[in-house]
């Protein structure tokens, strides 16, 4: 499988760089110096990802940004039952996280690699690939750094110089409090996924019953719940829901069961337990 990366080496590289780098119904709330918005998965507005294919295409629900504009964007992807796309390319690169079901994303001739919830992949722009989902309830989070996000025919393929990454949930490398000075207790673990300048992406795993805070000093903090159930400011969040903070923020969070968050931010956050 040409797209499988050695997870240990990949995570170690990202961790080292990170350490050096130093359609919705929103519910905004002032917190610290930030404006925090909660986006419930149940309240996103769904449209066809590729309008030319209508109901044959996956649906997309925007969490933040605008995939038809030029800004960075995050959206939910809901494929039809037993979906398999034709070979195609995109004009922009994207990152993906599986939230429900299983998803396969690879070269059209590659052997099947069904990624379960908590898996992470990247798709370089210009590279021919297929995307497939097995069953009836698959869901993924897709993130781009610049739109618009377009689906184009395979004949327009080109080599961007980027290479894809597929990391199955079982190959994610976790670090705990003993490995990091900025996590002060054992009820949380972190996995490093990617970094571009100061921007970075990580998973945070919270133990059942976690009560604490995530302190983000950066200008932007976006989190999407991948697994479990958490509470933030009387908002019960289920998988696919998101939290967006603009400006430095301290987010008080409780985990009602073991939970997994995908986080995109432009700084090093701190995870602290409530005293």
Give the span between the Cα atoms of 154 and 270, in whole angstroms: 43
* pTM for the predicted model, two decimal places: 0.88
Per the CB < 8 A criterion, the answer to whether 74 and 64 are in contact is yes
Is pLDDT of 13 > 60? no
What is the pLDDT at residue 17?
45
Is pLDDT of 1 > 50? no
What is the pLDDT at residue 6?
38
Task: Read off the pLDDT band of 275 (50, 70, 90).
Answer: low
Phi, psi of 237 (to 5 degrees): -105, 135
Per the CB < 8 A criterion, the answer to whether 8 and 173 are in contact is yes
User: At a CB cut-off of 8 Å and minimum separation 6, what does 157 contact?
Assistant: 89, 126, 127, 128
For 46-81, write each residue's pLDDT tens digit.
999 988 888 888 999 999 999 999 999 999 999 999
For 149-185, write each residue's pLDDT tens digit.
999 999 999 999 999 999 999 999 998 866 766 665 5
Give the span between the Cα atoms of 120 and 143, in whole angstroms: 11
Is pLDDT of 92 > 50? yes
For 225-252, write each residue's pLDDT tens digit.
999 999 999 999 999 999 999 999 999 9
Give the span between the Cα atoms of 198 and 138, in whole angstroms: 31
Helix intervals (H) in the chain: 7-20
Task: Read off the pLDDT band of 9 (50, 70, 90).
Answer: very low
Phi, psi of 8 (to 5 degrees): -65, -50
What is the pLDDT at residue 186?
65
Domains of the chain, start order: 44-171 (2.60.120.10)
Q: What is the DSSP pairing of strand 188-196 with strand 199-206?
A: antiparallel
Phi, psi of 62 (to 5 degrees): -75, 130
**Mean pLDDT, to the nearest integer, of 252-267?**
96
**1 or 225, which is more confident?**
225
């Amino acid at each position: 499988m040409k797209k499988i990366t050695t997870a240990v080496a990949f995570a170690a590289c990202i961790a080292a760089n990170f350490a050096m780098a130093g359609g919705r119904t929103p519910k905004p709330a002032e917190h610290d110096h930030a404006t925090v918005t909660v986006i419930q998965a149940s309240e996103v507005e769904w449209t066809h990802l590729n309008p030319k294919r209508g109901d044959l295409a996956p649906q997309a629900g925007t969490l933040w940004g605008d995939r038809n504009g030029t800004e960075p964007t995050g959206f939910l992807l809901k494929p039809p039952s037993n979906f398999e796309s034709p070979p195609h390319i995109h004009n922009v690169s994207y990152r993906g996280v599986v939230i429900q079901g299983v998803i396969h994303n690879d070269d059209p001739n590659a052997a099947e690699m069904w990624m379960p919830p908590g898996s992470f992949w990247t798709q370089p722009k210009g590279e021919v690939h297929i995307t497939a989902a097995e069953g009836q309830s698959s869901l993924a989070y897709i993130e781009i750094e610049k739109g618009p996000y377009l689906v184009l025919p395979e004949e327009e393929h080109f080599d961007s110089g980027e290479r894809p990454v597929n990391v199955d949930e079982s190959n994610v490398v976790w670090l705990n409090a003993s490995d990091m000075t900025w996590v002060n207790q054992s009820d949380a673990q972190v996995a490093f996924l990617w970094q571009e300048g100061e921007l970075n992406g990580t998973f945070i795993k919270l133990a059942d019953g976690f009560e604490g805070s995530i302190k983000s000093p950066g200008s932007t903090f976006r989190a999407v719940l991948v697994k479990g159930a958490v509470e933030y400011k009387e908002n019960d969040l289920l998988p696919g829901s998101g939290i967006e903070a603009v400006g430095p923020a301290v987010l008080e969070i409780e985990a009602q069961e073991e939970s997994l968050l995908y986080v995109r931010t432009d700084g090093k956050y701190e995870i602290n337990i409530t005293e």
